[in-house]
Amino acid sequence: TILGGLGADTLRGGAGDDTFLIHGTDTAADTVAGDAGFDTILGSAGDDTFRFASFSGTNTVERIDGGGGTNVIAGTSVSNAIDLSATQLLAVALIDGGDGNDTITGSAGADTILGGLGADTLRGGAGDDTFLVYGADTAADTVAGDAGFDTIVGGAGDDTFRFASFSGTNTVERIDVGGGTNVIAGTNVSNALDLSATELFGIALIDGGDGNDTISGSAGADTILGGLGADTLRGGAGDDLFLIYGTDSAADTIGGDAGFDAILGSAGDDTFRLASFSGANTVERIDGGAGLNTIAGTTVSNSLDFSATELVAIAQIDAGDGNDTVTGSSGADFLTGGDGADTLRGEGSNDLVQGGLGNDALSDTGGANLLDGGAGTDSITGDGGAEFIAGGTGNDTVNPGAGADVLAFNAGDGQDTVNPGTGAQKTLSLGGGIRYEDLALRKSANDLVLETSATEQLTFKNWYAATENQGFVTLQVIAEAMAGYDQSGADPLRDDKVETFSFAALVNVFDAARAADPMITRWEVMNALLDAHLAGSDDAALGGDLAYQYGLNGTLAGIGTAAAQDVLGASQFGTQAQQLRPLATLQEGLVKLG
């Protein structure tokens, strides 16, 4: 029976069943080796602290018995290595590593282990073990429960459980934090945190920190913050919330899994950057919160489908460069393609869709929409609602829908093909300085061709194949953009900002002229413009401000998205002339057409 007393003692039992007595609390660490025999460290009837800088099976101590009182196995304030897996513990309330980067392995029984400050590696061993994590530690711990039902427990205050990695192989069945606002946190490098096999109680946030993190939530309702970096986040079962704050140039991958899951922005301007997104991501809502918020793709090809997701407070879906495929939500969206050959589709409600550069395919499935191809050889397809369609520069193909569409075409817009539409009567709006003198009609097989200059034209496919293919009945000209426009002049075709004509009447006169003289192959529209003139206006246009500004300035850039939505949402859009507003009024707001 050996009593070392106070001080840093080195005790060896030698052969035989030895007992080492440690009574009270000593700040110095002892070194104890039992050698041969069944050896025991024994405490007193009071509260005892067994302090070691290192301990393992090589110490050949088979049992530590605290005796009476509340007893602790403790390390020092530097890094300790304490392995109790080969030692039976009796009446030991706590294994406390203290400060420093400690390595602690518990016994085969139910242990309570406190790593303290520092990057600790803690293993529970067999038994139902409890790991205590108190306060906020900037160093990351590694915790493994091993066999048994193991739990990480916080204190009564705000606790941060920091890990560089965590998964089911950690065999920790529960993290239960008690009071306070508690966080599971990663480090500022790439972390892998998988909590899908762990039950969480009282966790306010799972925070990956900076770096390219991979985080999987628990079966409950989790709040997950990936932080900066290209993060892969999964919510698991439960109604999960993913937080994205500010602007990050790296793209995240987010999967909500079961439950009603949402992505939420901050009180400021946020960018939700995604390389891919669809219904398979099982995220039911993206809410930008306050501020000016954007869903953005990357500079490579992206596939973004929000048809199964509710979008709230999202100002723009910007696909970015690359050959992107983007489908909007059921709400009113603003979709932009950027560079590349993009496929953009609105999904119900009144959408604003702009292709930008490249050969784009634009479409919408419902509502009154703006479809602006921009530069390139674009394909534009309308739906059952009234559309404002501008192919832009390049030789575009337009597929009108069943609504009262307004097709805008300017000088410089190339040679466009217009396939037959159905349903409501449609308007062709010319601008950009197109001259009356250059307008001419031709018949090519079953097609009607309207020349707007020596090198530019619109071809109305299969116009003569069926009466229902002759949907364009009104011609509108933004005369203010034309040379010779004079509000006080005597020319009735050039004295108003906007002039309207019966396109159907012009084609009828052309057809009659061909019937009278089959040798006619090209017929100048000026021959019948005055007779087909319907009205002129300085304050209204079919297609409203969109048609007028596009025809006058050759672009929609700078018009606020709210103003554009006002035009599309008006009951008279496409069927009656809409009142024009000053350009300064149209340019109000922070989000504008490009």
Backbone φ and ψ for 438, nearest 5 degrees, come out as -95, -5
Query: Does the structure show a pLDDT above 80 at 340?
Result: yes
* DSSP labels, 97-137: --SSS-EEE--SS--EEE--SS--EEE--SS--EEE--S--
> For the range 491-494, what are the long-range contacts, defined as Cβ-Cβ under 8 Å and sequence gap of 24 or more?
492/530, 492/533, 492/536, 493/436, 493/529, 493/530, 493/533
pLDDT of amino acid 62 = 97
Point out which residues pair with 294 in neighbouring strands. 271, 316
Q: Are 401 and 363 in contact (CB under 8 A)?
A: no
Residues 6+ apart with CB under 8 A from 24: 44, 46, 47, 48, 49
Q: Are 379 and 362 in contact (CB under 8 A)?
A: yes
- As given in the structure block, the two tokens for residue 245 are 């704050």
CB atoms within 10 A of CB 176: 15
**What is the length of the chain?**
594
Residue whose entry in the numeric block shows the structure tokens 């009607």: 448
Helices and strands counted in the chain (H then E): 5, 59
* Distance, CA of 307 to CA of 325 (rounded, Å): 13
- As given in the structure block, the two tokens for residue 518 are 């089959």
Query: Does the structure show a pLDDT above 80 at 178?
Result: no
pLDDT band for position 523 (cuts 50, 70, 90): very high
Read off the pLDDT of each residue in 158-176 and give the average, rounded to a whole number: 93
Q: What percent of the chain has pLDDT over 90?
A: 90
* Distance, CA of 278 to CA of 215 (rounded, Å): 19
User: Which regions of 360-446 does DSSP assign to beta strands (E)?
Assistant: 361-364, 369-372, 379-381, 387-390, 397-399, 406-410, 415-418, 426-431, 440-444
3-state secondary structure at position 262 = strand
Pairing of strands 130-132, 151-153: parallel
- As given in the structure block, the two tokens for residue 370 are 């703006």
Q: What are the sequence ranges of the domains in the chain?
A: 1-127, 436-586
CA angle, 36 then 37 then 41, to 5° = 100
* Distance, CA of 377 to CA of 514 (rounded, Å): 33
Backbone φ and ψ for 548, nearest 5 degrees, come out as -65, -50
Tens of pLDDT, residues 412-426: 999 999 999 888 899
pLDDT of amino acid 135 = 83
pLDDT of amino acid 32 = 94
Of 70, 34, 561, whose CA–CA distance to 333 is shortest?
A: 561
Tens of pLDDT, residues 524-577: 999 999 999 999 999 999 999 999 999 999 999 999 999 999 999 999 999 999
* Distance, CA of 548 to CA of 579 (rounded, Å): 10
On whether the pTM is more than 0.95, the answer is no
Mean pLDDT of the chain: 95
Tens of pLDDT, residues 228-243: 999 999 999 999 999 9
Query: Does the structure show a pLDDT above 90 at 77?
Result: no
Read off the pLDDT of each residue in 133-154 and give the average, rounded to a whole number: 90
**Cα 590 to Cα 203, 293, 557, distances in angstroms:** 38, 11, 13
* Distance, CA of 90 to CA of 71 (rounded, Å): 10
The radius of gyration of the chain's CA atoms, rounded to the nearest angstrom, is: 38
Read off the pLDDT of each residue in 430-458 and give the average, rounded to a whole number: 98
Pairing of strands 498-502, 472-478: antiparallel
Of 114, 118, 106, whose CA–CA distance to 134 is shortest?
A: 114
Read off the pLDDT of each residue in 59-63 and give the average, rounded to a whole number: 95
pLDDT of amino acid 424 = 84
pLDDT of amino acid 139 = 85
Tens of pLDDT, residues 437-448: 999 999 999 999
DSSP 396: -
pLDDT of amino acid 203 = 96
Of 568, 558, 581, whose CA–CA distance to 332 is shortest?
A: 568
Q: Which of 130-139, 223-232, 241-250 has the lowest mean pLDDT?
A: 130-139
Query: Does the structure show a pLDDT above 80 at 132?
Result: yes
For CA atoms 413, 415, 418, 424, give the dihedral sign. Answer: positive
Of 408, 539, 409, whose CA–CA distance to 480 is shortest?
A: 539
Query: Does the structure show a pLDDT above 90 at 78?
Result: no
H or E element in which residue 407 lies: strand 406-410
The CB-side HSE value for 77 (13 A sphere, CA atoms) comes to 2
Read off the pLDDT of each residue in 484-510 and give the average, rounded to a whole number: 97
Residues 6+ apart with CB under 8 A from 590: 292, 315
Q: Are 323 and 339 in contact (CB under 8 A)?
A: no
3-state secondary structure at position 86 = coil
Query: Does the structure show a pLDDT above 90 at 376?
Result: yes
Tens of pLDDT, residues 185-214: 998 889 999 999 999 999 999 999 999 999
Residue whose entry in the numeric block shows the structure tokens 């410089």: 412
